[in-house]
Structure 1
């Protein structure tokens, strides 16, 4: 089982590496390995059960062809200022050029032609004016919204295109280890992700790791085991906030997604909004070890009465502790423990009053939670003081931009933690210090989101073709 190129992980960066190679006539043997299943077989039973049933051996929302992208809100951020630090590696202008190129590929496979956030310039100026008053920065970023259900259609077409054009895809396959000799990649040890009983060794002198946030912990382990150069990056600790659509109506209509950054007192840590979903639904994702984290979806056709968005507080650790992924997992475990394995929800007003939220109190408000199995409780008993204060002070500032955002009935769900904190040291071709071993996407620590991960895959393909 010898291949010219093996790609580990069928998320956006891995998919677009294979896709760009195929589109440009690469006629060598490509193998794409995915821990989960085909995209059309991915299904969350919560649609019927109304509660998470902890699917085994993996959560279909986070695992399978296209990764978490197939079950996300499906937004493509069309600015180099959003989506991670890839522009620092390749340059701003090059990042912009490849965003435009990659966006055209999404359009080719059926993405909506409408771009949000380009019109209503006077209204945008008014939002920016209020942001300045609140000591927040409004980031200009046009958005192409795919929609959760439409994203699945687009990635299904890409999946079939790759298969029809000779890309071999191994589904339900787990990469247990890397085979490295004389500081060069030689292959991989793989096993069936459901049976986990028969190991196989496959060979290639070119391996691309693109395991996404789901595989960030595994990649950190590989780095430690095989002396792959890396550094500890940032971990984002936060909550998913939900309000009525009426509260966010102006921002939703003008920008669709408001990307705001602040450095609230007293700590002056970076705090930002992320993944805003007008008319959306709060959702649950399960990671390994039954870790439940909160996220948000936004469909093209199905709408709720609420808008949800993440507020994330960024933290760095250097010494003596430098394991941000483990830190984020511990915070998540504490929140899960208080929710008896479920997502926890608390009213903003109850936090200010220093009390937990009770189920009966949720039923009295104008705001009906869109995550029906979230457990009412006390987030402040689990989320550490520093990120919690950052989040609360940021909400207070955001209320100046969006009056009513800091209403007592505003809901905070937790935990929302982003596991992309391990940063791999790469050269200009995205190669690690191990010859022939490359790292891409969110698991590499260089991107955050669908578009930048896809862009990194396109550039990776160009580098392979050129080499």
Structure 2
């Protein structure tokens, strides 16, 4: 196994302690290394086959449910908590009814929550389990896939070293999305452009979301905007969590996390607009980076704005942020105006979503709610695969 980053025990991200990404880690320790981006994530283990990708396109549902159970049992051996969220049937039906009345599509699911602190220890335990079973080489960057007679036979690293193999499994993660796309095009593989998710990280008092998060932990809602019919969704809810930064190449974006032990007074979550580009446009990742880079230029990094200021068409200032009921957990964010960064269409979609969500969680659409920008999720273009996940 070849890993671009560091072993889990050696991964350190200054942004997690200081709130400031110094852009000095090459590659970024938040996204690269054993455990990938998940090592410093909120640490959720989703147990529902309907959430998290397109595996049902390749695996029959019954088989996929068994795979989920197998993976769940594997993780639990290494310390994942026993508690399962989202299993209260009566509560779920009540939320589903209220969501329909608000114009929201509620997606029920069950999950376990590790928290950023426990996720790290769980992944380290899994790493120890593989000692002596799998050889792992760290700080090795794969530059290209080697192909002979139409079959992958190995890889070549950025240092020119060649590794031959009977089978080659590519799992580059979020930070390798562009690389995977380039390799697929180099071999003229059929690609399907994934939608790009672009939006903001929302921060509210934890009490605003507790009715939902105490039982569901991560409520998932979809919304189709009235103005543009775009799909907008809530993603990565972090109860009693904090807002953090992450970096893609030279672009600083925003994310969220929460701990199993440590708690804050705030809850944060992403509101993302999903847009699928059509021909001839083939660079959704470049587009997302462009928007994020614009925020970096204007705000010197991540921008934070009160929802009330956005609605009034004015920038947030340090004084206005200080007067807000919600105290920002990302201290390095610069008060500013997101309307100079996000297109009107995206802002309209986001505001409509927050207004609808306010009917289930009163206070979300408050003037004091904080918006951080931008948050963007980069996904690799989907390579067309057969049922064995082969090209």
TM-score range, shorter chain: over 0.9
How do residues 33-432 of structure 1 correspond to structure 2 at under 5 angstroms?
Answer: 33-119=2-88, 121-165=89-133, 167-191=134-158, 198-288=159-249, 290-340=250-300, 342-432=301-391
1:13-71 per-residue CA deviation (whole Å, 9 max, x = no partner) reads: xxxxxxxxxxxxxxxxxxx1111000011111235544221132122111110001110
Q: 2: distance between equivalents of 1:262 and 1:132?
A: 10
Q: 2: distance between equivalents of 1:284 and 1:275?
A: 14
Q: What is the CA-CA distance between 1:184 and the residue it aligns to?
A: 1.3
Higher normalized contact order (CA 8 Å, seq sep 6+, divided by chain length)? 1
Q: 2: distance between equivalents of 1:204 and 1:124?
A: 48
1:312-337 per-residue CA deviation (whole Å, 9 max, x = no partner) reads: 11101111212211211111111221
Residue range with higher mean Cα deviation, 409-418 or 330-339: 330-339
Instruction: Label 1:247 to 1:48 Cα distance change in 2 as closer, same or farther (>3 A).
Output: closer
Aligned-pair Cα RMSD in Å:
1.4
Contact 2:6–2:33 at 8 Å: present in 1 too? Answer: yes
**Once superposed, which parts of structure 1, at least 4 consecutive aligned residues long, lie more than 3 Å away?**
46-50, 121-126
Contact 1:324–1:421 at 8 Å: present in 2 too? Answer: no
Q: What is the CA-CA distance between 1:421 and the residue it aligns to?
A: 4.6
Q: What is the CA-CA distance between 1:238 and the residue it aligns to?
A: 1.3
Q: 2: distance between equivalents of 1:327 and 1:91?
A: 35
3-state DSSP class of the match of 1:404? coil
TM-score (norm 1): 0.81
Q: 2: distance between equivalents of 1:224 and 1:355?
A: 44
Structure 2: segments with no counterpart, 5+ residues: none
Residue range with higher mean Cα deviation, 254-263 or 65-74: 254-263
1:182-223 per-residue CA deviation (whole Å, 9 max, x = no partner) reads: 2111221113xxxxxx42112113100001111101101111
Q: 1: distance between equivalents of 2:79 and 2:237?
A: 22
Q: 2: distance between equivalents of 1:45 and 1:330?
A: 24
Instruction: Label 1:266 to 1:74 Cα distance change in 2 as closer, same or farther (>3 A).
Output: same
Instruction: Label 1:254 to 1:411 Cα distance change in 2 as closer, same or farther (>3 A).
Output: same
Contact 2:178–2:380 at 8 Å: present in 1 too? Answer: no
Q: 1: distance between equivalents of 2:230 and 2:16?
A: 38
Structure 1: segments with no counterpart, 5+ residues: 1-31, 192-197, 433-467
